[in-house]
């Protein structure tokens, strides 16, 4: 994306009802990448601890495993449907569903997970109509730059947080 000088944004005439106020620098960027951001919902059985099972056996109660749901977001980084997300979102899940910005939902399969670094790579078969986002390098960032966190966790779809490093 070509960078514009601040003066061109400030001197630009915006329509009265436009959200593109001169100080809303992030709006065009969010619009550009939102199709690559996904919502993730997982479901899996939680197993009770050995102590809890022992107590329930002693009392004669049946202990049922409970379905646990996790919600999170990620982004498509490859045109073949590879998605980067957090490992804690998909850990111990039996089912992983991914919802794209256009409303389509796909079942995902984990390709790689790393619990220590808390990241996971998922794969969906969405066909050619997906918009991957480029991976960057934190080595190229400098203190004082703005950082945007664009997510789509269930209930907060299209959320954006800005922070200066």
Q: What is the DSSP string of the chain?
A: -----HHHHHHSPPPTT-S--TT-THHHHHHHHGGGEEEEEEEEEEPPPHHHHHHHHHHT-----EEEEEEEEEEEEETTTEEEE-HHHHTT-SEEEEE-TTS-EEE-EEEEEETTTTEEEEE---TT---------GGG--TT-EEEEEE--TTSTTEEEEEE-
Q: pLDDT digits over 91-145, tens only?
A: 989 999 999 989 999 999 999 999 999 999 999 999 888 999 988 888 888 899 8
**pLDDT of res. 16:** 54
| CATH code matching the domain that covers 6-13+20-133+142-164, chosen among 2.40.10.120, 3.40.50.620, 3.30.1360.200, 3.30.1130.10 | 2.40.10.120
pTM, rounded to two decimals:
0.74
Domain ranges of the chain: 6-13+20-133+142-164
Confidence of residue 1 (pLDDT cuts 50, 70, 90): very low
Q: pLDDT digits over 52-79, tens only?
A: 666 766 666 665 666 788 899 999 999 9
């Amino acid at each position: 994306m070509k960078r514009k000088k601040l003066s061109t944004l400030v001197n630009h005439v915006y329509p009265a009802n436009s959200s593109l106020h001169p100080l809303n620098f992030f709006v065009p960027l969010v619009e550009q990448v939102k199709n690559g951001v996904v919502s993730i919902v997982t479901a899996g059985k939680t197993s009770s601890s050995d102590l809890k099972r022992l107590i329930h056996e002693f009392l004669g109660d049946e202990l049922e495993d409970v379905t646990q749901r996790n919600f999170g977001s990620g982004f498509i980084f490859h045109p073949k449907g590879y998605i980067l997300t957090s490992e804690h979102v998909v850990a111990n899940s039996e089912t992983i569903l991914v919802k794209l910005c256009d409303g389509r939902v796909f079942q995902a399969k984990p390709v790689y997970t790393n619990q220590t670094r808390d990241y996971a790579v998922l794969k969906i078969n969405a066909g050619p109509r997906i918009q991957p986002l480029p991976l960057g390098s934190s080595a190229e960032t400098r203190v004082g730059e703005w950082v945007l966190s664009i997510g789509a966790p269930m209930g907060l779809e299209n959320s954006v947080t800005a922070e200066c490093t």
